[in-house]
Structure 1
Amino acid sequence: MKAYVFPGQGSQFIGMGKDLYEKSESAKALFEKANEILGFSITDVMFNGTDEELKQTKVTQPAIFLHSVILAKETPDFQPDMVAGHSLGEFSALVAAGALSFEDGLVLVSKRALAMQKACEANPSTMAAVLNLADNVIEDICASVDDVVVAANYNCPGQVVISGTNEGVALAGEKLKEAGAKRVLLLPVGGAFHSPLMEPAREELAAAIEATNFNAPVCPIYQNVNAQPSTDVATIKANLIAQLTGAVKWTQSVQNMVADGATSFVECGPGKVLQGLVKKIAPTAETSAVVL
């Protein structure tokens, strides 16, 4: 069985999507429609901007979404048996699997990005990658810190990202090193994604998601918050809302997809981050990228 996986923030690069735009009239039309919906030329930033411009959350998230979704739409034999997306990538996966229209997906991603940016500005906060320490040890140490800090991304065995206030992450980082973590690396992000500090953004996005029309996807989507397959619209919406303050259970999602029959994982979007993570989670699975 073939699983398509969609990347999240951090996979962007200048020039992303340019080949699609230049090669295909249908892709070009979707990019131009996106410029119209967003009210600014995101293609200018994606194709010719600076790293700094592309790194702004309000630009990064729609840019990765556009690259991923248009790539899926341009793939002639796009017939997934299951899909999943890492954080923001969950929205790309839902559009690719027919649960959301291109336009509605882009509007939600843009609202999500702006709401997250606002929450980051209201509460200075950060994230850090913890290497080579058991998940339960990381969880226990975060729980012992008298400040907001939680395990936010279970990326692969031996790589968990923590998220919280600057003080909480610093305190947890010290304790994690004492407990034997190989490294604790601060990440260049705008704030504490997938933590309780994203609650204002969750509330804002919840209203937008509730007001948006969703359809049942063509195949199960394994969602970040519980790593379980969903095809029910009400469940998908609830999990999508919970995602902003909940952890990204990527390790568990891939493990469950393999248990349910996935033998091949195809990354659809910029970069190769997910192929690398899948290889560490399920070494026997085939990994590849969509190439047009």
Structure 2
Amino acid sequence: MTINMEKQVAANDQADQVINKPRERVVVVAPGRGCYNKDELGYLQRFHSDKQAFIAAIDQYREELKQTGIAKIDGAAKYSFKQHTPGENASALIYACSVCDFMDIDTERFEVVAVTGNSMGWYIAMACAGALDADAAIDVINTMGSMMQDGLIGGQLIYPEVDAQWRRDSEISSLIDRTIETICAEEGCELFTSIYLGGYRVLAGNEAGLKRAEEMLPQVDERYPMRLYNHGAFHSPLLEQVSEKGFASLGEFLFSKPQIPLIDGEGRIWTPYGADCSKLREYTLGEQVTKPYDFSKAVQVAVKEFAPDKIIVLGPGNTLGGPTAQALIDINWFDWTSKGKFSAAQQISPQMLAMGNEEQRSLCKIK
């Protein structure tokens, strides 16, 4: 099976010969876990019925492992937490939806200048950029996503660190840092920053640490701190064993130099010419698994270094739209200085397009 990466790369080389009007430069952002929810049920059927061969190849891989096919999971009559949220199902399903969205980007209108992602979206970003071919991508994503099918290791919760206008509140950030320090000093408690997610901090820990965080952090909007269902302690030292298993299972031969620049969770850029495949594997299966993932920094580096005209956030869903905008508001990019300014600008001329939003999707797709 193949991901239609060649189309993007060839378009980058040939567009000037075909089109007089310059293409718009875009950075593509891939989502992580938690973006395929009840409203996304049937996403592949609704938007990607033309990509049956790609989907069937994923299902053939999963059938050999005696796992339910993603076509069947996506086509279920009813959304089920038990079926749709475990990593061994959610990872492959989200990967397929996102990469199919990437295939649909109109390369005659848009030049993809860089790709990044959040958490599991790093694996998807590598697939979109060509650092993992289609066979390698499903192998890496399904393997890493299935590591905790016999039992979750720890968990995650999410907490906002911005005000109502999506401006960073340093007092809240300091409160979170102090809470982590206090809890880690308590016997039997482990708590870490997992993801810097735009205007949110995702924390990872063991059950004792997470319970103490829920007790110590002030309630916000009667929602936060909020546990993330069926999530393990991703991007924390609690997953050292998962990292070791990943290294044992996934060889260097799976990794290639990207064909489009990639920005990782430390803000590092992996270029088509300078990327070291051995180091790319070491980061992906090592630090990316066991250390904090700075999605905010990845987005900020992407726009500063590649100066896109627009950001395209892949589906399914649009849970990553807010954090992406918040990361950009933090550096006043596109002259966005608050939630209000962002919302007003989006109404006039959207510079962030979410493919999980049907109206914005139409602005990204091939006509």
- The answer for the alignment partner of 1:252 in structure 2 is 297
- Residue 156 of structure 1 is aligned with which of 187, 190, 198? 198
Match of residue 107 from structure 1: 139
Instruction: State the number of aligned residues.
Output: 282
Deviations, residues 112-141 of structure 1 (Å, cap 9, x unaligned): 011133461xx4x22111223543542343
Indicate the SS of the match to 1:177.
coil
Deviation of residue 264 (structure 1)?
Answer: 1.6
Q: State the TM-score, normalizing by the size of structure 1.
A: 0.88
Q: Residue 241 of structure 2 corresponds to which residue in structure 1?
A: 200
Does structure 1 conserve the Cα–Cα contact (< 8 Å) formed by 2:198 and 2:325? no
Deviation track 1:251-278 (CA, whole Å, cap 9, x = no partner) reads 1111212221234210122111222212
Match of 2:311 in 1: 265
Query: Which residue pairs with 2:53 in the alignment?
Result: 29
Structure-1 residue corresponding to 2:160:
131
8 Å CA contact 2:86–2:230 kept in 1: the answer is no
Q: 2:43 aligns with which of 3, 13, 16?
A: 16
From the superposition, tell whether residues 70 and 107 of structure 1 become closer, same or farther in structure 2 (CA, over 3 Å): same
Q: 2:210 aligns with which of 169, 173, 178?
A: 169
Partner of 2:352: 287
**Which stretch has the larger CA shift, 97-106 or 44-53?**
44-53
What SS class does the counterpart of residue 243 from structure 1 fall into? helix
In the alignment, the residues of structure 1 paired with residue 151 and residue 264 of structure 2 have an alpha-carbon distance, to the nearest angstrom, of: 23
Q: Which moved more, 1:6-15 or 1:239-248?
A: 239-248
List gaps (5 residues or longer) in structure 1: none
Instruction: Please give the alpha-carbon distance, in whole angstroms, between the structure 2 residues aligned to 1:162 and 1:108.
Output: 24
Compute the RMSD of aligned alpha carbons. Answer: 2.3
Separation in 2, partners of 1:252, 1:54 = 30
Q: Deviations over 1:187-228 (max 9, x none)?
A: 22343222222222111112233343322112221111x122
Deviation at 1:76, TM superposition (A): 4.1
Aligned match of 1:236 in 256, 273, 280?
280
Is 1:276 matched with 2:322?
yes
C-alpha distance in 1 between matches for 2:178 and 2:303:
28
Give the corresponding residue for 2:86.
56
How much identity, in percent, do the aligned residues show? 20
Aligned-partner Cα distance in 2 for 1:153–1:2: 24
Mark the structure with the bigger radius of gyration: 2
Q: Secondary structure at the match of 1:80?
A: strand
Instruction: Tell me the CA shift for residue 65 of structure 1.
Output: 0.4
